[in-house]
Structure formats: structure tokens, C-alpha cells
Amino acid sequence: MSSAIEAVSTRSEKRDVNWSLWLRQVGAIFRLEIEKNFLGRRAILIYLIALLPLFPLLILALVTPPGNEWRDFNTYSTIYAILYNGLILRTVVFFGSAWIFMNLFRGELVDRSLHYYFLSAVRREVLVVGKYVSGLVTSIVLFTGTTVVAMLLLYVPHFYSQSLRYFTEGRGLVQILTYAGITMLACVGYGAFFLVVGLFIRNPIIPALLLYGWEWLNFLLPPLLKKISVIHYLNSLVPVQISEGPFAVVAEPTPAWIAIPSMLVVTLLVLILAAYRIRHMEIRYGSD
């Protein structure tokens, strides 16, 4: 029998062939994984998490609470900022990313099906990229959707015509795009973290909860320690800053031109660590 994937002779040609082969393989892995992420049994929890903020907003759309602030259009950007910070960013994106990215490898170890990838003629680094990209697309589609729909659901039922102008002509469009961008960045950062946690630790719930606690207590930390967290960089980017309470230690937000590249560089380093781990990983389902 002959192999259909043949190496080529010259070095430059080989590099070209490898790149196109790797891209094709990333595409194949991506398609397999995206189907699992959206249609698999584990997807149900992700949909529930993504819909979580929409349930209270639906109730709010039907019943306006008492209090003047709920009748003032200008306070809605603050209300959304609170909702986004507390519920969407810290809960939906955090736990949603945890579930999606931890399951990319850990889920297949539990299902005992990871070996099919390991027995394919694919660099394990390519496997990491394919799986990470699939997780990223899944989380971005779902949670950016949540971010946008939540904002529209907050504004539109109460101030229909004002909202239309706000989102088409006013600064609403910039805000909605900024929040969507922050959600994407959160998926990038949390995704890489949870991917690695799922690879190194058999029960990833514990490190996830530790990170969750660290992120929640971020407002109490001294400025230097604040910078060792994802939430600090994300909060630095939100268009409407909210008070973190009387006990909060105030720190200067990190400028976007530092926050975004920093998060991307750290993500890249974490992915390199994941690739190293996968490269040396053994399959022993009994012990996993």
C-alpha cells in the first residue's frame, strides 16, 4: 500500500506543503469539534448558561420595576454595565468558557475517544490549534450573542424609538461593539486558561473555582496583584466604569494598547504550554 500524503523534495516546497496540510487539518478538526460543541450532549449546558442573563431581562421587559432610575434612559448604560460585569462577564463568559474549553480534551478523555486524534497523521500542536479555534468560535458566537441581545433586550422594550436612534446614530453602536469586543477577548483569555487546566488537572473544577474567587476578589487586591488577573484587563476596557464599593482598592485602568496585546501574548504563551503538554501526553484512560 502506498501513503497518499507524500513528502516533497525541496525544503521550501516542503514548508509550503506543510502549511497547507496543517491548515487543512485544522479545518477538519475544527469542523468535527464545532459540531460537537453546538450539537453534542454537552452543548445543552452551554445554551442554558448563554441564555441565563436573558431570563431576568425578559421579565424586566414585561414589568418595569418601581423607581425613577428605571424611567431614565441615561441610567441604562450604567445598569447594563452592572449587568455585564456581574452576570455576563464574570458568570456567563467565565463558566461558559470553562465548560467549553475544559471539555475539548478532558471531555474526550472521559469519552475515551481522544486516541483517534492521536492515531492520526497530525502534529499534536495542530490538534491544539484546531480544538482551541473551535472552542473560541463557539464561545464567541454564543456569548457575544448574549452580550448584544442582552443590551437590546434591556433598552428596546422600554425606550423603543430612543433606542433605535441610540444604536444606529448615537454612541450605542460604539458601546455595543466595545462590549462585544471585550466578550471576545474574555473568551480568548479564559479559553486558553481553561484549555490548559483541562490538560493538566484531572478535576478542573477546583482550579476554576479558585480562579473565580481570585477574579471576584480582584477589587480588594493591591494594584500590582490586580494585574495578575484577566478581569482587571477586561474591566479596563469597559466603556462605562462602575463603582466596586467602599472597600475597593482603586487602581488605574490599564490602557487598551497595553491591555489587549498583553492578554494576547499571555494567551499565546498558555497555548504553547498546552501544545507542549499535548505533545508529551500519553493515553491511559484507566488513570484519567
Partner 1 sequence: MSSPEQLIIFDNVSKFYGEILGVNRVNLQIAPGITSLVGPNGAGKSTLMNLMTGLLRPTRGSITILGIPTDQPEQLFRKVGYCTQFDSFPRGMTGREFLNSFLLVHGFDRKRANELSLVALERVNLVEAADRKVAGYSKGMRQRIRLAQSIAHEPAVLILDEPLNGLDPMVRAETIALFRKLASEGLHLIISSHILHEVDMMSDRVVLLNNGYIVAEGNIHGVRDEMEEHPMQILIRCDEPAKLAAYVFAQNHVVEARLHDDRRGLFVKTRDADRFYLLLNRAVAEGEVNVESVAPVDDDLSAVYQYLIGTTGGSA
Rounded to a whole number of angstroms, the minimum distance from the CB of residue 276 to partner 1 is 13
Shorter beta-carbon distance to partner 1: residue 19 or 73: 19
Rounded to a whole number of angstroms, the minimum distance from the CB of residue 115 to partner 1 is 6
Among 34, 40, 152, 216, binds partner 1 (CB under 8 A): 40
Does position 10 bind partner 1 by CB under 8 A? no
Residue 69: burial class (beta carbons within 10 Å; 0-12, 13-18, 19+)? exposed
Does position 106 bind partner 1 by CB under 8 A? no
Among 38, 54, 118, 159, binds partner 1 (CB under 8 A): 118
Determine contact, residues 176/167, Cβ cutoff 8 Å: yes
Does position 38 bind partner 1 by CB under 8 A? no
Shorter beta-carbon distance to partner 1: residue 21 or 149: 21
Instruction: Compute the chain's Rg from CA coordinates.
Output: 22
Closest CA to 263 of 225, 240, 236: 236
Determine contact, residues 150/57, Cβ cutoff 8 Å: yes
> Which DSSP letter does residue 53 get?
T
Distances (CA, A) of 167 to 134, 194, 214, 227, 268: 30, 34, 35, 33, 34
Which positions ≥6 away from 16 have C-beta within 8 Å? none
Q: How far is CA 148 from the centre of its chain?
A: 15
> Which DSSP letter does residue 84 get?
I
Does position 39 bind partner 1 by CB under 8 A? yes
Shorter beta-carbon distance to partner 1: residue 68 or 287: 287
Does position 21 bind partner 1 by CB under 8 A? yes
C-alpha cell at 58: 425578559
Within residues 121-180, the interface with partner 1 by CB under 8 A covers 121-124, 126
Count residues near partner 1 (CB under 8 A). 39
- Site map 52..91 versus partner 1, x via CB under 8 A: ----------------------------------------
- Give the residues lining the site for partner 1 (CB under 8 A): 1-5, 21, 24-25, 27-29, 31-32, 35-36, 39-41, 111-113, 115-124, 126, 279-280, 282-285, 287
